[in-house]
Structure 1
Amino acid sequence: MIGQNPLPMVAVDAEVLAPGRLKRDREWSWEMSRHPSIAAFGLEGGKLLVGGVPVDRLAEQVGGTPFFAYDRALLTNRIRRIRAAFPVGIELSYAVKANPMPAVVQHLSRLVDAFDVASARELRTALDTPLDGAKVSFAGPGKSVAELTQAVAANVTVVVESHTEATRVTAAGERLGIRPRVAVRVNPDFVVRSSGMRMGGGPQQFGVDAERVPALLKDLTRMELDVIGFHIFAGSQNLHTDVLCQAQRQTVELALRLTEAAPAPVRYLNLGGGLGIPYFERDVPVDLERIGANLTELLTSAIRPDLPDAEVVVELGRYIVGECGVYVTRIVDRKESRGRTFLVVDGGLHHQLAATGNLGQAIRRNYPLVIGNRMDDEIDGRVTVVGCLCTPLDLLGNEVALPRADVGDLVVLFQAGAYGLTASPTAFLGHPTPPEALV
């Protein structure tokens, strides 16, 4: 089977717990326990559960620490909640870049309608699933000729991001005797405020400027391409529901304007996503029901009257997987330095870069963090959790209120289901790559 992941990974079976029936002995007592992501996993015998398995037992099953673990039931429940909020007629696409672990992608292939990939390796992972290649889109600037050829041969939708890329796709189709199916990625003429990363508005390496799209579409009519529609993605990691709803409305308005220049009826419209997850204690989760109501209004009043046959897609990555995963690492030393207590663990930024604040945080804040095998213990004081790397950047938790913890205890970082292992410098200082487990 193609698309094997060279990183170590383990599949762990466990009883799937029904929503709302996660095991727990008593109410959570830590200040960080108010974070919704922690409460979702459950508790038994003073130990955190992942997929119903106590975290210390899970560490033994996967072969030790550090490791990433993703909760299969939480993934399933996340998709169920999204489906309940979104209207019929909206297709759900998973952005594989958020977490490309093959077991995760395989599981999601039975729950979502489509995949979006951003490399040949992600493409192979997607094609290894039961999902049809026609339900895969390939986006991102700088695709190589080899990648474009693979995509055309696999019958996926190539999201073209420039005139040059369109000519290369055409050439690949001619070599293969295939008429490639493409969508045009549009750099919108509006900016989405409050996004963690802006991917539209102003000068961008992504897509074609909205004002230049009509001219490009005219050129595409002279190429042997099946131009099916548009991909418009304006930003990511946004927690402001009002802003997200406004961005969806602006995206639909832009798409409808561009359809006037389309060479054929639009059959595909990817509205992007951008829904964020709460990483920090004061973050307020997105109101998914309001997002769904907004999509319902746009679908019925704007999209369907003008684009009756279009496949309308919302593309989510982090929002699907981010809160369903944890990073588990073990304390190897406890030390005092001039009035501060440090817990040194066997993991660090080479596995979970984002949690150290080195992946885009302007002001570093702590991710939710617990001692996974001491969930019933009372707060003992504030400690600083650091990784094993020889750099002061390797900071996982600064002055965190925790129970008394010592060598051998397990530190668990939450919000680790998206942009964890594959967004981290795993080769830095030569430490082993951690396993991943879908539990």
Structure 2
Amino acid sequence: MRKINLVRVAMETEVLLSIAKSIKTPAYVFDKKSFFEKALNTKKIVGDEIAICYSIKANPFLIDKYYQPTDLFEKFEVCSIGELRICISSGIPAEMILYSGVNKNINELNEAYTYGVRLFTIESFNHLSYINQMGSRYEEPLPVLIRISADTQFGMDEKDVISIIKDRDQYQYIDIIGIHYFTGTQKKGYSSIIQELKYLRAFCENVNELYNFKIRNIEYGLGLGVEYFEGQKQGANTIDEVVQELRDLSAVTKLTIEMGRYFAGNCGYYFTKVVDCKVNNGTSYAIVDGGMNQLHYDGQVKSMKVPLHKHLKMTPGKLSTQTKKWTICGSICSTEDIICRDVEYQDLKEEDMLVFLNCGAYSFMEAMSTFLSREMPQIWACNSGRDLELMREFICTDTMNCRR
């Protein structure tokens, strides 16, 4: 028998209830205070010698100018021209932007350069050529970080990275200031992070000894995780466990740690209302006005895991002491649209609200938001439940799913 766990969250039930009464559903709510505190606490732990970078793909809404994100981070990683334009509209200074990612073309690079961006990653020899050409055009050597591949499509073979460093005089308008390294997110343990930090330190020492080249900067993505499900085994989700190894690496190079999920994950809430309750062949189903098209967690497979969430009673009256098992389904016409299955609630009824936690990173963007041509949810910002601010209205998607 599976029961909902009364988890401790940043916002208490009373605050969530107050928000639920103030908004229409479905809706995402991002808690500014939680985001601030995670970034500030991280900075406090690692110290001033290590810079922190927010990867905005985790949640672009969190770099809205009203969040004052430049007070929290030294850098912002963008991986597309669209993300760059979000930074521009949000007032992120060009000198704080790292333009990263695969599939860079010369027009996008020029747009970034025109805005004032002067730090780029190199993920291929094509990128190397494009940036060298751009530097030649503007007669300015451009700072770059070469990304070392971790057996994925990203970055370049270590031997190719070394060959570029070895032959660096051939690239007149490339200023290789360092290395970019990221192997994946939601790491299950700290040992892999510690191994990677040791590898990066050894890499710095080797290229200095063999090629008389100093790695001045390393941008490193730790891949720390966020807890999403009931009974989830603890993974690598706190920076305290690796802070000494981070400091060891920062002793030999300027280190920037880059994360998105770790900073944003816990600040997000997804509110959805129960609109229908019924029993089919002995199974109690509750239909909510949201669904799998708006909520996605890394590791979620066919409702086999129960996301951390809370049940809010929205109508006054005495609660029944009995609990009952329910399967929670969304509004998408698919048998796959099951958010969680066989979960016990106390007196679940229509008009009640379910609030899904820790969906501040990726969740709302990875879901199939235009499926069935339903509206995309509102997005709100708050400060631990106070001063609610509408950041995005409902968006009709029918115009996206037909010939124009």
Structure 1-normalised TM-score? 0.78
Distance (whole Å) between structure 2 residues aligned to residue 395 and residue 334 of structure 1: 14
Identity, % of aligned pairs? 23
What letter matches 1:214 in structure 2? Answer: I
AA aligned opposite 1:227:
I
Which residue does 2:398 correspond to in 1?
none
Cα-to-partner distance string for 1:361-397 (whole Å, 9 max, x where unaligned): 4983121122134699666122111110011121111
Where does 1:143-158 land on structure 2 (aligned, <5 Å)? 143-153=104-114, 154-158=116-120
1:79 lines up with 2:45 in the alignment: no
Question: What does 1:171-186 correspond to in 2, within 5 Å?
Answer: 171-186=133-148
User: Which residue number in structure 1 is paired with residue 13 of structure 2?
Assistant: 43
The residue number in structure 2 matching 1:366 is: 306
Secondary structure, counterpart of 2:21 in structure 1: helix
Report if the CA contact (8 A) 2:98-2:117 is conserved.
no
Contact 2:204–2:214 (8 Å) recurs in 1: no
Cα deviation for residue 346 of structure 1 reads 1.0
Q: Does 1:241 align with 2:183?
A: no
Instruction: Tell me if the contact between 1:332 and 1:407 (Cα under 8 Å) persists in the aligned partners.
Output: yes
What is the deviation of 1:217?
Answer: 2.5
Task: Tell me whether 1:403 sits opposite 2:363 in the alignment.
Answer: no
Task: Determine if contact 1:68/1:436 at 8 Å carries over to the other structure.
Answer: yes
1:284 aligned to 225, 234, 253, which one? 234
Q: Distance in 1 between matches of 2:181 and 2:225?
A: 17
Q: What SS does the aligned partner of 1:344 have?
A: strand
- The gaps in structure 2 that reach 5 residues or longer are 383-404
Q: 1: CA distance between counterparts of 2:119 and 2:352? A: 48
Task: Give the partner amino acid of 1:435.
Answer: Q
Aligned partner letter, 2:103 = G
Could you tell me how far 1:341 is from its partner in structure 2? Answer: 0.8
More displaced stretch, 161-170 vs 101-110: 101-110
Mapped to 2, the partners of 1:431 and 1:250 lie a distance apart of: 48
| Counterparts of 1:206 and 1:429, CA distance in 2 | 33
Aligned length: 372
Root-mean-square deviation over aligned CA pairs: 2.6
> Deviation at 1:248?
2.3
Change (3 A) 1:362 1:385: closer
- For the structure 1 residues 42 and 179, does the alpha-carbon distance in structure 2 shift closer, same or farther, using more than 3 Å as the test? same
SS of 1:231's equivalent in the other structure is strand
CA change 1:155–1:372 in 2 (3 A) is same
Relative to structure 1, the CA distance from residue 345 to residue 151 in structure 2 (aligned partners, 3 Å threshold; closer, same or farther) is same
Secondary structure (helix, strand or coil) at the match of 1:353 reads: coil
Partner of 1:120: 81
Match of 2:260 in 1: 317
1:221 matched to 2:169? The reply is: yes
- Structure 1: gaps of 5 or more residues: 1-29, 188-199
Aligned counterpart, 1:334: 277
Q: How far 1:128 moved relative to its partner?
A: 3.7
Per the alignment, residue 424 of structure 1 pairs with: 367
Residue 150 of structure 1 and its aligned partner are, at CA, apart by 1.9
Q: Is the 2:204–2:215 Cα contact (8 Å) retained in structure 1?
A: no
The Cα offsets for residues 16-40 of structure 1, whole Å up to 9 and x where unpaired, read as xxxxxxxxxxxxxx74113xxx432
1:170-203: CA deviation from partner (whole Å, max 9, x where unpaired): 222333444322110011xxxxxxxxxxxx2x3x
Counterpart CA distance in 2 for 1:260 and 1:151 is 35
SS class of match (2:277): strand
The equivalent residue for 1:32 is 5
Contact 1:234 1:272 in 2 (8 A): yes
Over 3 Å counting, the alpha-carbon distance change for 1:276 and 1:317 in structure 2 is same
Partner Cα separation in structure 2 for residue 265 and residue 327 of structure 1: 47
- Amino acid across the alignment from 2:262: Y
Q: Distance in 2 between matches of 1:318 and 1:218?
A: 35
1:352 Cα deviation (Å)? 1.3
Deviation at 1:259, TM superposition (A): 4.4
Judged with a 3 Å threshold, the aligned counterparts in structure 2 of structure 1 residues 66 and 389 are, in CA distance, closer, same or farther, namely same
Corresponding position: 1:293 with 2:244: yes
In 2, the alpha carbon distance for the partners of 1:219 and 1:78 equals: 42
Runs of 4+ residues over 4 Å off in structure 1: 102-106, 259-264, 374-379
Which letter does structure 2 place at the counterpart of 1:119? S
